[in-house]
Amino acid sequence: MASLTLQIFCLIATGLLTGHGLTPLLATSPGGCLYRGQYYPLGSFQASLCEHCQCTSSGQAYCAIEECFSFIGCVDHVRDKNHCCLVCPNGRNCVTADGTTIKHGDTYSTGDMTCHCSGDGIFAECAHTLQPVSVDPLPVVS
């Protein structure tokens, strides 16, 4: 059905072109695929940084766009022109409650708070440390 539809479209287009004094130009792609205006030979090809394709013997290009995991693993990720997905230029890291960035596996302390960057999160696990308090003994009432 698709082939018949394409043939009818070509006949109509040819008729319209020749009726206006124009010569139809038929594009053929022997042994390859025409994808987004670019010719590719049979087999695998990469149409763009994140688009991986396969050109079949029927002249069809089947493409898949590379998906990136939502977990990046760092708080200072950047988009690198040589990579499809975001990258962590300083490796895995976390951010503390006060906004300090620490490397994965490190511990950070300030005042009464201690934070540790572990697990798969980008937020450091922080806890307040209890400070010793001196208390005067209560008088004994008799």
4-32 pLDDT, tens per residue? 333 333 333 334 334 444 443 333 356 89
Residue extents of the structural domains in the chain: 29-67, 70-130
- Give exposure, 84-122, as e/b (b: 16+ Cβ within 10 Å): beeeeeeeebbbbeeeebbebeeebeeeeebbbbeeeeb
Residue-wise pLDDT for 78-123, tens only, equals 988 888 888 899 999 999 988 999 999 999 998 888 999 987 778 8
